Amino acid sequence: MIGGLFIYNHKGEVLISRVYRDDIGRNAVDAFRVSVIHARHQVRSPVSNIARTSFFHVKRSNVWLAAATRQNVNACMVFEFLYKMCDVMTAYFGKISEENVKNNFVLIYELLDEILDFGYPQNSEPGALKTFITQQGVKSQVQSKEEQSQITSQVTGQIGWRREGIKYRRNELFLDVMESVNLLMSPQGQVLSAHVSGRVVMKSYLSGMPECKFGMNDKIVIDKQGKAGSNDDGAKSGKQSIAIDDCTFHQCVRLSKFDSERSISFIPPDGDYELMRYRTTKDIILPFRVIPLVREVGRTKLEVKVVIKSNFKASLLAQKIEVMIPTPLNTSGVQLICMKGKAKYKASENAIVWKVKRMAGMKESQISAEIELLPTNDKKKWARPPISMNFEVPFAPSGLKVRYLKVFEPKLNYSDHDVIKWVRYIGKSGIYETRC
Amino acid sequence: MPAVSKGDGMRGLAVFISDIRNCKSKEAEIKRINKELANIRSKFKGDKALDGYSKKKYVCKLLFIFLLGHDIDFGHMEAVNLLSSNKYTEKQIGYLFISVLVNSNSELIRLINNAIKNDLSSRNPTFMCLALHCIANVGSREMAEAFASEIPRILVAGDTMDSVKQSAALCLLRLYKTSPDLVLMGEWTSRVVHLLNDQHMGVVTAAISLITCLSQKNPDEFKTCVSLAVSRLSRIVSSASTDLQDYTYYFVPAPWLSCKLLRLLQCYPPPEDGAVKGRLVECLETILNKAQEPPKSKKVQHSNAKNAILFEAISLIIHYDSEPNLLVRACNQLGQFLQHRETNLRYLALESMCTLASSEFSHEAVKTHIETVINALKTERDVSVRQRAADLLYAMCDRSNAKQIVAEMLSYLETADYSIREEMVLKVAILAEKYAVDYSWYVDTILNLIRIAGDYVSEEVWYRVIQIVINRDDVQGYAAKTVFEALQAPACHENMVKVGGYILGEFGNLIAGDPRSSPLVQFNLLHSKFHLCSVPTRALLLSAYIKFINLFPETKATIQEVLRCDSQIRNSDVELQQRAVEYLKLSSIASTDVLATVLEEMPPFPERESSILAKLKKKKGPGTVSVTDLEDSKREGGELNGGGERGPDTAAMAASNASTPSPSADLLGIRSAAPVGAAPASAGSLLVDVFSEAGPAAPSAAVNDDGFLSSAPPSEDPAPPLPEADELLNKFVCKNNGVLFENQLLQIGIKSEYRQNLGRMYLFYGNKTSVQFASFTTTVSYPGELQSHILFVQSCSCMFRNQYTSENWDTACYSTSPIFAH
């Protein structure tokens, strides 16, 4: 169980320190600072063991969050908690920065008291927390007895993430499928590794206690339906289905139902939440293809040509395209010519950065660079790091489609048709690299 | 040095450094550095030539980036260019970069060497100094090769400036330390020695460091420096504090030079020339006198400098060890320091006194300070000082004060620091043994020692008690009684149980008359400790029990009962089980006569060097306490302490289990029957005359394992093979293959085949140790008439090593295979 939780700024000064168990002493705070934050070599492992105490840390901008324990805890649980903690803090005061943490330290201690009890994680749903931890501290005192008991019954009840008696004039629902696609490609265009990690994020403004059912083109479900229905139908729909490698759900999803029927049904929390996370590795649509051409001309010159091809429907537009072409460490000058967008040599990153604002599908564009090198004493060859790329496309590279999202509310008089539903697909680049 | 001109501030550099310092994170710092590197690269790309100033600035930046821990792989050329600049600052930065970042890149080294050569031959002293400093800072072999012949010339040349001479001497010293084979003094020797007469004190100081180092290697060549050093020293010592102006440090004239002179003199024996010697003694006396004078200043630097010279003088006096008068005076002076409030002084005084105590002239004088030293041992706050005090007590101990010192050390042991306990224990054990007149005192002391610091008492210590008790009849009864009493303590250390088990097993009968220590009481007392002990101790106790059966037949039933119980006879430890089974059988089958013979009292141990001393020597580096001295006196008192050195445990157990020597026995390394490696005395007999018995007429093989075994042809060496080897050899009467010889280190196997008139044989050598044998050679010698018949000898030689434990060896990769014909 988590013995203590600390928040540091980039200098290693302690902003928040909360100890939950006696086995974590005061010196643990310093131990982490000395051997991780101020370590001579950058510590890359998120888990560090110092003097029989385990520290799990995540970094948000320049702020370090570290959980300490002396017990053999489930590391995934701790990280999940830390991420949840970040979510909660973001939900309360926006970006996690040193200043925000300093300004809200009372609130953070209050939150820490609530979401961790003797080191055991408790309800960490921002929606639920906001009902009884408010930023205007005084307001909570004028809550009536009824309200208080309602909160208690909600928080301790079966559906801790939603309170009763919510009413909206317009029942609305927003659904975002957000994916990030990761790729490593060989110079010859062979895919070395590729996967998509996606999230389904929802925002719901629904009255009462609605029961929702979410359907997507999951291969298992489609195949099952196909078998039940006609054979032709199954073959047709099978092509569009996707194989999901693994997925995790928000706590509101009934897992037993998912296990038995693979249907995703839930009573949604009010407001923002992340319904599910998933990962796929098969049949990924790669939005861009990068074709590098690197030629070394003697010891002092290097010619680089990079072509990018967009590989999706011509009617769609990709945005915020950015290509990073690494340059050798002994670069002394760069000349650039590009057909589209803007390109610049950034010495501080040791790379050429080429930015294109928009690009339609089925197009191609190229950049060519002449790099001048300074002769060095080192016989070490340049390691040729891969060319990386960033972009945003308006479809899901995994091929995921939302088939339906049904809402049932038996007690109130609105039906599935009355709910306004918005669906949006966003595909982003994760680590999208091509070797050169 | 040229004045720093206006443009040398290098604003760009200052801005860059402050940028880096203001970076919030590591990433930001790396970004800033990357940017700067790109900038410098574009500047160095060199479309247009850079002026000296900007070149210097960028090289400085590179240097700073390198010192931050980043790799720098360019800019060397620019730095080398800076070397040829005429401006001091530019040259300096160039040299700095070279000394920090030089790598053995062939073309650059040539350029650098060229630049250095130019600077060395220039008449500008600052440039010469810079070049010399660079050579010394790099100090590589290449540098030594290039300049080792040039620097001595600069050093002794008449027209060289003093500051350059200084640098040259130190530079030469550095080169000599890195590659002594390249620095050949030869013809320069006498002129270097005469630098001691130089007018400039700085030159003398630098030269003396060089001379000290050189004279340690070849003292004869530099012998002449002694008289020069003495005269120099006497001039300094007799000078008033104002005479030397710049070289007077807080009213002490040239303290560093004096120290170095005194240290140089310590490389040589006392001067033979009477005049020189007289002058030196006079100097030393003056130094001792000065120590008595009231300090000229209250500053700590003054006393430090004065004391530095004094201590150096005292170690010279100790080194000479021929002036009783000076020795005693030194001792008295140190005695004063023993009570000084400065901890460092007390430490140094104790340390020097340790060496003084070993001198025959001053031993008595040292002894007068015993009370102070004991007091220091008790009250000193710093553990290192206490350690020195303990060393000194050990060094000053002799027959007259042994009892007092041992008692003090014992009482101190109870509170002693853990880090020095083991050493203290060894010292107490050695002193107690060496100066024991009355053996009951000795036994008391050691038992006390085990009681107080049992964990730190090594095996050797309690072996030694037992050896002494066994060898001395008069103390046996007392020992049995004391041990019995000591064992009655509710918690006693395992070592105590070991001693108790052994002594009661041997001499329990001597105290059995007393009803309070009747045999059964003794046995029950021992057995009550049995379950708390480790396996080796239990094994020893089992042997003690069987001895009890022999000594007191009335305990037989009880003991057999104990041996018979499951925890003994079915013990999971094979050693204990075997003992239990064998002892049980022995006691039930053998008649009392047989029992009495088998379990007879141990014979006295033969006299050997005390292994405790050896252990102490191993523990401490050479030079802290003169162990050799103690050894000498130990030998004198040898007949007094008729102690032997055989492992009592082994010998005792030999009766029951020659086949499985107990692990503790091997610790002693003195099993008389087996191993060869330890004792060079038996090495000669290792020689195996293989063929005299092995088969048809054949050459003899001799094993020569350098360092472990040595051998000569059999005809010259009459030493018979080891009994074990003999047995092994007998096998070859009817066998062609087998193990020829085996000990802990080496196994030699032979494989031979014979067809008609041809024979072929292989010898296999197996290394059973975990280390490699170096320079392993074998010599095969052939009796005369066979020589002509040898067809050929083929051998493959390689180093080998057994990675496994000594039990299973499986490497055999050395073979000789002579083929010979009849």
**pLDDT of B766-792, one tens digit each?**
777 777 776 767 666 665 555 555 555
Please check the confidence at residue B196 and state whether its pLDDT lies above 50: yes
Answer with the residue of higher pLDDT: B206 or B593. B206
From chain A residues 361-390, the ones with a CB under 8 A of any chain B CB are 372, 374-378, 380
- Burial pattern A83-103, b for ≥16 Cβ within 10 A else e, equals eebebbbeebbeebebebbee
pLDDT given at position B720: 43
Contacts 24+ apart (CB under 8 A), A374-379: A374/A300, A374/A330, A374/A331, A374/A332, A374/B41, A374/B44, A374/B45, A374/B74, A375/A299, A375/A300, A375/A330, A375/B74, A376/A330, A376/B73, A376/B74, A377/B73, A377/B74, A377/B76, A377/B103, A377/B105, A377/B108, A378/B71, A378/B73
Asked if B42 and A333 come within 8 Å (Cβ–Cβ), the reply is yes
To test the contact with chain B by mutation, choose from A299, A377, A378, A380 the residue with the greatest count of B C-beta atoms within 10 A, namely: A377
Q: Is A199 helix (H, G, I), strand (E, B) or coil?
A: strand
Per the listing, tokens 């206490």 go with B386
Identify the band that residue B6 occupies on the pLDDT scale cut at 50, 70 and 90. very low
Total residue length of chain B: 822
pLDDT > 70 in chain B, percent: 77
Token pair, residue B399, equals 């027959």
Instruction: Report the range out of B374-383, B413-422, B447-456, B576-585 with the highest average pLDDT.
Output: B576-585
Asked whether the beta carbons of B761 and B735 are under 8 A apart, the reply is no
The pLDDT mean for chain B works out to 75
CA–CA separation, B87 and A42 (whole Å): 41
pLDDT given at position A78: 95
Contacts 24+ apart (CB under 8 A), A249-253: A249/A275, A249/A276, A250/A274, A250/A275, A250/A276, A251/A125, A251/A161, A252/A159, A252/A161, A252/A162
- In chain B the first and final C-alpha atoms are separated, in Å, by 89
User: Residue B446 class from Cβ within 10 Å (0-12 exposed, 13-18 middle, 19+ buried)?
Assistant: buried
CA distances (Å), origin A183, targets A400, A429, A432: 18, 9, 5
Task: Say if residue B43 carries a ligand binding annotation.
Answer: yes
Instruction: Report the range out of B189-193, B619-623, B729-733, B787-791 with the highest average pLDDT.
Output: B189-193
Widest CA span of chain B, in angstroms? 110
pLDDT given at position B721: 43
Closest CA to B741 of B730, B728, B732, B751: B728
| pTM greater than the 0.80 cutoff | no
Check if A350 contacts B (Cβ < 8 Å). Answer: yes
pLDDT given at position B789: 57
Q: Name the phi and psi angles at A94, rounded to 5.
A: 80, -150
CA–CA separation, B669 and B463 (whole Å): 13
pLDDT given at position B728: 61
pLDDT in tens, B504-552: 888 888 887 777 888 888 888 888 888 888 888 888 888 888 888 888 8
- In the predicted model, what is the mean pLDDT of residues B57-79? 88
CB atoms within 10 A of CB A425: 19
Closest CA to B547 of B501, B481, B487, B516: B501
Answer with the residue of higher pLDDT: B662 or A244. A244
Q: How far is B98 from chain A (nearest CA, A)?
A: 14
Count the alpha carbons within 13 Å of B234 in the hemisphere toward its beta carbon: 15
User: Residue A40 class from Cβ within 10 Å (0-12 exposed, 13-18 middle, 19+ buried)?
Assistant: exposed
DSSP-derived secondary structure letter, A214: E
Count the alpha carbons within 13 Å of B818 in the hemisphere toward its beta carbon: 18
Task: Say if residue A219 carries a ligand binding annotation.
Answer: no
pLDDT given at position A183: 94
Q: For residue B28, what is the nearest residue in chain A, using CA coordinates?
A: A348
Rounded to the nearest 10°, the torsion over CA B354, B355, B358, B361 is -110
CA–CA separation, A292 and A389 (whole Å): 12
Please check the confidence at residue B811 and state whether its pLDDT lies above 70: no
Token pair, residue B327, equals 């020795």
- In the predicted model, what is the mean pLDDT of residues B667-671? 34
The pLDDT mean for chain A works out to 87
Identify the band that residue B731 occupies on the pLDDT scale cut at 50, 70 and 90. low
Q: Is A176 helix (H, G, I), strand (E, B) or coil?
A: strand
Task: Say if residue A139 carries a ligand binding annotation.
Answer: no
Contacts 24+ apart (CB under 8 A), B288-296: B288/B313, B288/B326, B288/B329, B288/B330, B288/B333, B291/B333, B292/B333, B296/B241, B296/B250, B296/B251
Count the alpha carbons within 13 Å of A322 in the hemisphere toward its beta carbon: 12
Instruction: Supply angle C-alpha A65, A71, A72, rounded to 5.
Output: 95
CA A154 to chain centroid, in Å, comes to 29
pLDDT given at position B609: 63
Instruction: Supply angle C-alpha B47, B53, B58, rounded to 5.
Output: 70
pLDDT given at position A324: 94
pLDDT given at position B608: 64
Please check the confidence at residue B190 and state whether its pLDDT lies above 60: yes
CA–CA separation, B381 and A2 (whole Å): 43
Contacts of B16 in chain A (CB under 8 A): none
- How would you write the pLDDT of chain A (436 residues) with one tens digit per residue? 899 999 999 888 999 999 999 988 888 899 999 888 888 787 889 999 988 899 999 998 889 999 999 999 999 999 999 999 998 999 888 889 998 899 888 899 999 998 999 999 988 888 778 877 876 644 445 556 777 777 777 767 777 788 778 889 899 999 999 999 999 999 988 999 999 999 999 999 998 889 999 998 888 888 887 766 545 444 444 457 888 989 999 989 999 988 888 889 999 988 889 999 999 998 899 999 999 999 988 888 889 999 999 999 999 999 999 999 999 888 888 999 998 899 999 988 889 999 999 999 999 999 999 998 887 766 677 888 999 999 999 999 999 999 999 998 888 878 888 899 999 999 999 999 999 8
pLDDT given at position B726: 58
CA–CA separation, B435 and B632 (whole Å): 13
CA–CA separation, A163 and B198 (whole Å): 98
CA distances (Å), origin B436, targets B404, B406, B445, B478: 12, 11, 10, 15
Asked if A374 and B74 come within 8 Å (Cβ–Cβ), the reply is yes
To test the contact with chain A by mutation, choose from B22, B24, B33, B34 the residue with the greatest count of A C-beta atoms within 10 A, namely: B34
Q: How far is B141 from chain A (nearest CA, A)?
A: 20
Contacts of B76 in chain A (CB under 8 A): 377
Return the minimum-mean-pLDDT range out of A365-369, A383-387, B128-132, B805-809. B805-809
pLDDT given at position B470: 83
- Burial pattern B712-737, b for ≥16 Cβ within 10 A else e, equals eebeeeebebbeebeebbeebeeeee
Q: Name the phi and psi angles at B795, rounded to 5.
A: -140, 140
CA-based torsion, B558, B560, B566, B572: positive or negative: positive
Instruction: Supply angle C-alpha B243, B248, B254, rounded to 5.
Output: 95
Asked whether the beta carbons of A68 and A3 are under 8 A apart, the reply is yes
pLDDT given at position B100: 87
- Tell me which residue in B25, B31, B39 faces A62 most closely, judged by beta carbons: B25
CA–CA separation, B738 and B731 (whole Å): 8
Token pair, residue B276, equals 């020189």
**ipTM metric:** 0.71
pLDDT given at position B534: 86
Per the listing, tokens 């160039």 go with B94
Contacts of B44 in chain A (CB under 8 A): 332, 374
CA–CA separation, B191 and B185 (whole Å): 10
CA–CA separation, A408 and A419 (whole Å): 10
Q: For residue B104, what is the nearest residue in chain A, using CA coordinates?
A: A377
Task: Say if residue B620 carries a ligand binding annotation.
Answer: no
User: Residue A405 class from Cβ within 10 Å (0-12 exposed, 13-18 middle, 19+ buried)?
Assistant: buried
Token pair, residue B300, equals 């700590």
- Tell me which residue in A62, A350, A378 faces B34 most closely, judged by beta carbons: A350
Return the minimum-mean-pLDDT range out of A207-211, B72-76, B274-278, B693-697. B693-697
Instruction: Supply angle C-alpha B796, B798, B803, rounded to 5.
Output: 135
Asked whether the beta carbons of A258 and A249 are under 8 A apart, the reply is yes
The crossing angle, in degrees rounded to 10, of helices B383-396 and B402-413 is 160
Instruction: Supply angle C-alpha A33, A36, A42, rounded to 5.
Output: 140
pLDDT given at position A8: 94
pLDDT in tens, B615-627: 777 765 444 433 3
Q: How far is B80 from chain A (nearest CA, A)?
A: 13
Token pair, residue A18, equals 């909360």
CA–CA separation, B711 and B705 (whole Å): 8
